[in-house]
């Protein structure tokens, strides 16, 4: 799609809703987030005006879901009125819970985006503390007319492809599928895969029922080499987005630590959310709320990875599995999670999804936990050994299918297989945390979200789209 055509498309979308004021410009604050497990520091990088107008829902300026570890507010310094707020999570927020954060300091580049303001304003960054209450950790004043503010061009606009177009970006959820590790000759393959994965997303509830509330865009700047880095196998690629396996030394965890490159590419597209599709077949992915999600597009398990990781990024859903190795250290105290789909069950009478629980369902709710754990821990041991030996991916896929078939058969015979309750084992912990249903795409490689997750996803769709206000 050439720049002139892209401009016409955006102009027609915004003009289609004449009852709404023209959208403001898009501003971005780039900053450095530094520290360790005990302290953190913020430093300004730059204030940016992106080339495209703001594509967010101006009718929902205040975040009502608050699913992240952090949040920011755009505040009038004189009146104290909050003009805009959004909650988010970050790579730093995950890294500070790893063992490495107790040994060294690190710095991560981060960004927040918001509609441009007409006069001086303050960005107030907050973080969850005791009781998950947000407290201020950084405040920075921005002058919109400062000549040092950077003005970006839509550098990659001629490479944008509209995969699914439902209307005005300011009234829709705008998802960018960002390809990484695709050469120019592989661009058509990327677009084909982006379309396939979009179809899979819209075949999954509640996205299926809300398809008309989404726009899906795709872009994949050409890479010199196919694929992305996988350091544990001495594979290194200088890909445009910088996605890499082995994040936090977890072989399956795919992230990019090059936030500036990612934002520079993405700013050519009207986006609210980003999923990075890597040109790789090795199982892997990741998802961070309000930042991005990733999926190995050529993996046999790409449909699952795409939807599961998007659940993290889009709706702030917690992982419900607990037998897999993770880089995060166990919490000292059991506290009620802020994620909507897991609970510590500290107050059973006020279970966060109580409205979905049938009167006869016991809390906690029984499930074949011992049998599942015996199989799953043995499977994890075998999986780790196979990865260490770098066996062909086809053998890994056979193992994944074997363990999923075992779980499906085990769960099918369980008494409360269709119930909403409180099933112990979630949030990377075998004890002390509970999920709402026996199975969910956030627990195993199944294909469906549980009812609690579906409700949580629908709430975010409502916040970013205009049709259901």
Which pLDDT score, from 0 to 100, does residue 468 have?
Answer: 52
Specify the DSSP class assigned to residue 191. Answer: H
Which pLDDT score, from 0 to 100, does residue 308 have?
Answer: 98
The shares of helix, strand and coil residues in the chain, as percent rounded to the nearest 5, are 30, 25, 45
Greatest CA separation for the chain:
67
Q: Give the pTM.
A: 0.95
The two structure tokens encoding residue 201:
């997303």
Rounded distance between C-alpha atoms, residue 33 and residue 129, angstroms: 17
Q: Which CATH class is domain 24-151?
A: mainly beta
Asked if domains 24-151 and 157-319+459-464 share a fold, the reply is no
Q: Where are the domains of the chain?
A: 24-151, 157-319+459-464, 342-448
Residue with tokens 């726009």: 215
Rounded distance between C-alpha atoms, residue 296 and residue 306, angstroms: 8
Which residues lie across from 108 on neighbouring strands?
33
Rounded distance between C-alpha atoms, residue 47 and residue 56, angstroms: 19
Rounded distance between C-alpha atoms, residue 293 and residue 311, angstroms: 9
Query: What's the N-to-C CA distance of the chain in angstroms?
Result: 33
DSSP H or E run through 51: strand 40-53
Q: How far is CA 423 from the centre of its chain?
A: 24
Rounded distance between C-alpha atoms, residue 107 and residue 113, angstroms: 20
Residue with tokens 């990741």: 286
Q: Within the chain, which residues score under 70 in pLDDT?
A: 1-21, 467-469
C-alpha separations of 292 from 256, 441, 466 in Å: 9, 18, 22
* Residue 88 backbone phi and psi in degrees, to 5: -160, 165
Please provide the CATH number assigned to the domain covering 157-319+459-464.
3.40.390.10
Rounded distance between C-alpha atoms, residue 276 and residue 265, angstroms: 12
Rounded distance between C-alpha atoms, residue 287 and residue 308, angstroms: 8
């Amino acid at each position: 799609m050439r720049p002139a055509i892209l401009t016409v498309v955006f102009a027609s979308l915004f003009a289609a809703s004449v009852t709404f004021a023209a959208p403001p410009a898009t501003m971005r604050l780039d900053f450095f987030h530094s520290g360790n497990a005990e302290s953190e520091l913020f430093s300004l990088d730059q204030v940016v005006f992106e080339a495209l107008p703001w594509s967010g829902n101006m009718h929902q300026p205040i975040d009502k879901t608050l699913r992240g570890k952090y949040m920011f507010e755009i505040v009038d310094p004189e009146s104290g009125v909050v003009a805009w707020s959004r909650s988010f999570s970050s790579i730093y927020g995950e890294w500070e819970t790893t063992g490495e954060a107790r040994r060294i300091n690190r710095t991560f580049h981060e960004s927040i985006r918001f509609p441009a303001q007409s006069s001086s304003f303050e960005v107030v960054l907050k973080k969850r503390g005791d009781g998950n209450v947000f407290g201020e950790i950084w405040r920075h004043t921005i002058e919109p007319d400062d000549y040092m503010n950077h003005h970006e061009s839509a550098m990659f606009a001629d490479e944008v492809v509209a995969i699914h177009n439902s209307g005005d970006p300011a009234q829709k959820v705008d998802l960018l599928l960002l390809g990484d590790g695709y050469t120019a000759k592989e661009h058509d393959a990327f677009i084909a895969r982006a379309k396939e994965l979009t179809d899979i997303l819209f075949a999954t509830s509640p996205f299926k029922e809300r398809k008309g509330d989404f726009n899906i865009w795709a872009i994949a700047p050409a890479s010199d080499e196919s694929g992305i880095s996988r350091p544990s196998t001495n594979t290194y690629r200088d890909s445009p987005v910088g996605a890499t396996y082995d994040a936090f030394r977890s072989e399956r965890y795919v992230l990019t630590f090059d936030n500036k490159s990612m934002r520079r590419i993405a700013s050519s597209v009207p986006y609210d959310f980003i999923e990075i599709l890597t040109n790789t077949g090795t199982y892997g992915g990741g998802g961070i709320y309000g930042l991005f999600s990733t999926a190995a597009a050529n993996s046999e398990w790409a449909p699952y990875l795409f939807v599961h990781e998007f659940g993290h990024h889009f709706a702030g859903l917690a992982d419900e599995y607990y037998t897999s190795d993770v880089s995060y250290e166990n919490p000292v105290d059991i506290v009620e999670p802020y994620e909507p789909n897991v609970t510590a069950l500290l107050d059973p009478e006020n279970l966060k999804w109580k409205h979905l629980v049938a009167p006869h369902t016991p809390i906690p709710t029984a499930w074949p936990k011992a049998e599942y754990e015996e199989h799953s821990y043995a499977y994890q041991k075998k999986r780790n050994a196979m990865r260490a030996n770098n066996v062909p991916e086809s053998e890994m896929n056979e193992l994944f299918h074997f363990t999923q078939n075992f779980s499906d058969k085990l769960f099918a015979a369980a008494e409360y297989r269709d119930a909403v309750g409180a099933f112990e084992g979630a949030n990377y912990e075998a004890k002390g945390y509970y999920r709402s249903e026996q199975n969910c795409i956030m627990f195993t490689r199944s294909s469906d979200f549980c009812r609690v997750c579906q409700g949580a996803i629908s709430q975010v769709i409502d916040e970013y789209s205009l049709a259901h206000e």
